[in-house]
Amino acid sequence: MDPCPFVRIVIGNLALKFPAEHKLSSSTVFDCKFKLRGFSTQVSTISAFVQDPVLDNRTHSCFNLNKTELDKLVEKSSIRGKTCSLKIEIFARRKGIGCGLLNGGKLLGSVVVPLDLKGLESNGRRGVVIQNEWVLVGGSSTAAQLHLNVKAEPDPRFVFQFDGEPECSPQVFQVNGNVKQPVFTCKFSFRSNGDRNLRSRSSLSEPNTSTSCFNSCPVDKESSPLKERKGWSITIHDLSGSPIAAASMITPFVPSQGSNNVSRSNPGAWLILRPSNGTWKPWGRLEAWRERGGDLGYRFEIIPDGATDAITLSNSTISTKNGGKFSVDITNGATPLTSPNSSFDLCSGSGSGSDFGSAPGSGSWAQLLYRGFVMSSTVEGDGKCSKPEVVVGVQHVNCVEDAAAFVALAAAMDLSMDACQSFTKKLRKELRQSDHE
């Protein structure tokens, strides 16, 4: 199946330039607030100069639109007879006093950028530069000028939908518009105590995790508290029944001392695993905990082949009340990418999935980079029915295991919401090994 069309509006190369007679204080910080109707406001700090400004060639903000959102914006513009616009507001504040959007910030002015998204549709895959110049802030000839680069570019993505909650071992569909096609099945299970022992395994039917997978991940100890959630595992299978990715809980989720919640100082952790030469190989690590305010905190790291240190790709929070999105979006910088298989066909299940990593280069680290949007998945709040939707950038999927690894990661993120529930609450029956949990 073809990927779904998405559009990415990218705002970068921002710099503020003042007239020569302006006295610029080193204690003043400038923030930009980016507003697009129907989307959450974004904020970024920018550099300011009196003369000889330096453009940092950095992305400061991005908005991601699926086809439905794009069509709505275009339709509203047609009805109103006006092109939809991006509004950028510039604030000044003293260094160390929060953000310019909060107390202490002074609004200097704003810039409105019309977005001709119809032009993008007619320009095919190349994208369009909407604006790339210096513009006045506030409309006065003596005011500051803002340099900005705004462009819209196609960013096609694969969309996957769980047909049920991950702990109920559902099917996973690829979605494109109104078309849904099954591509994976996932199996939730509990590892036995024996699976946590260090031993070799010739079968990929169940993931084996141990200290050999990633030496900074502790395993269960005899001194572990009686209250713990441990041993959960999700295995992703292709349509032929071959396991091609997995998420395995390697550090139990336990309450901190004197509390009923998993704390940031002692988070639970998952390994995201991929097949390699008949065994499981660690690809990523996800930690999760409860913040003091009650939200779910998380950190996701990639584990490069042969490396001793992991690379953090995402570190944020999700509302435990309303849910939200787990997202990996590299707007600046770059990190390594796995799986250089040149062919990819979700429908036929081709790639190295059935060969357990025997295809040339499968599972190894290629000289490629993660850039831009990588993936996102929906996470529902406490006690709500969850059928995660997983969106993955096409440029990060070269074989079926690539997609399956992101699906396994999404399942682990979703299950972390349950694992981090207060230990005063009883988990649903699918997540309990006994009635005492």
**Segment 284-317, tens digit of pLDDT:** 999 999 999 889 999 999 988 766 678 889 999 9
Average pLDDT over residues 410-424: 95
> Does residue 312 fall inside a structural domain?
yes
Nearest to 149 by CA among 134, 170, 139, 168: 134
**Segment 259-290, tens digit of pLDDT:** 999 999 999 999 999 998 889 999 999 999 99
Residues 91 and 166 in one domain: no
* Residue carrying structure tokens 């006045």: 136
Residues 303 and 264 in one domain: yes
Residues 171 and 146 in one domain: no
**Segment 235-245, tens digit of pLDDT:** 999 999 999 99
> Does residue 187 fall inside a structural domain?
yes
Nearest to 238 by CA among 174, 327, 168, 305: 174
Q: Domain span at residue 126?
A: 7-20+27-95+104-154
d(CA 268, CA 145) in angstroms, rounded, equals: 48
Are the CB atoms for 56 and 47 separated by under 8 Å? yes
Residues 67 and 43 in one domain: yes
Average pLDDT over residues 102-108: 71
Strands 48-49 vs 6-17: parallel, antiparallel or unpaired: parallel
> Does residue 181 fall inside a structural domain?
yes
Residues 232 and 315 in one domain: yes
Q: Which residue has the higher pLDDT, 371 or 97?
A: 371
Contacts of 33 (CB under 8 A, 6+ apart): 41, 42, 43, 88, 89, 90, 91, 100, 101
Residue 74 structure tokens: 């275009």
> Does residue 282 fall inside a structural domain?
yes
Give the predicted TM-score (pTM) of the model: 0.81
Long-range contacts of 255-264 (CB under 8 A, 24+ apart): 255/225, 255/227, 255/423, 260/422, 260/423, 260/424, 261/290, 261/420, 261/422, 261/423, 262/288, 262/289, 262/290, 262/419, 262/420, 263/289, 263/290, 264/289, 264/290, 264/291, 264/297
What does the DSSP 8-state code read for residue 131? E
Residues 85 and 68 in one domain: yes
CATH number at residue 50: 2.60.40.150
Residues 269 and 162 in one domain: yes
Residue 326 structure tokens: 């787990």
**Segment 163-220, tens digit of pLDDT:** 999 999 999 999 998 899 999 999 999 976 444 432 333 345 556 554 344 443 443 4
> Does residue 343 fall inside a structural domain?
no
Residues 128 and 258 in one domain: no
pLDDT at 83 (0 to 100): 75
* Amino acid making up residue 123: N
Residues 284 and 302 in one domain: yes
Q: How many domains does the chain have?
A: 2
What does the DSSP 8-state code read for residue 5? P
Residues 11 and 143 in one domain: yes
365-to-254, 302, 306, 307 alpha-carbon distances in Å? 34, 11, 10, 11
Phi, psi of 153 (to 5 degrees): -140, 145
* Amino acid making up residue 94: R
pLDDT surpasses 90 at 232: yes
> Does residue 171 fall inside a structural domain?
yes
**63 by DSSP, 3-state: which?**
strand
- Residue 124 banded pLDDT, cuts 50, 70, 90: low
pLDDT at 345 (0 to 100): 47
> Does residue 113 fall inside a structural domain?
yes
Residues 170 and 262 in one domain: yes
Average pLDDT over residues 54-65: 88
> Does residue 143 fall inside a structural domain?
yes
Residues 141 and 186 in one domain: no
Nearest to 361 by CA among 341, 334, 390: 341
Look at 105-109, 227-231, 249-253, 325-329 and tell me which has the smallest mean pLDDT: 105-109
